Amino acid sequence: MKLLLTLTLVLITITLRGQDIQVKDSINVRILNKGRYYIKTHIITVEGEDYQFSDIWKRKHSEYQQIPYLWPSNKSETTVIIKRMIKYDIWLKTVIWPIDHVGESKLVSGNYRIEVRTKKKGNHLEVETELIKE
């Protein structure tokens, strides 16, 4: 009986320690649309992999997505749809490329919200993003 109890405890301990090794640091990110237009897609690129947030209405936020890490400034691509009553809807797209990450700290854990503000200037889309820890 003691041998069976000891073996059970040993197996439980080994199983729990194995689970600790598999835990990978990551952060949860969601997008808040603080602009005037409907965001069709907002794509964040990390390590060459795209993380896409879709269909975000004005003053609404997306669902959380798990991302391995973020920099305070990341490569992102934003596509908005400007709804018009009589004419065709206008689709505008902007890509933001950070120059470098000198002086920035990589964010590897926690929950973050990216506030996206969009403005139409002529035929171009201006996008400002702000990263906020929740």
Are 132 and 115 contacting, i.e. CB atoms less than 8 angstroms apart? yes
State the pLDDT at residue 29. 96
Percent share of the chain, pLDDT over 90: 57
Q: Phi, psi at residue 7, to the nearest 5°?
A: -60, -40
Model pTM score: 0.77
- Assess whether pLDDT exceeds 70 at residue 127: yes
Residue (of 60, 134, 62) closest to 52 by Cα position: 62
Mind listing the pLDDT tens digit for each residue in 66-109? 999 998 888 999 999 998 888 888 999 999 998 888 888 889 99
Are 73 and 103 contacting, i.e. CB atoms less than 8 angstroms apart? no
State the pLDDT at residue 63. 95
Q: What separation in angstroms does the CA of 42 have from each of 11, 23, 77?
A: 45, 28, 6
Mind listing the pLDDT tens digit for each residue in 31-44? 999 998 999 999 99
Residue 3: which H helix or E strand, with range?
helix 2-22
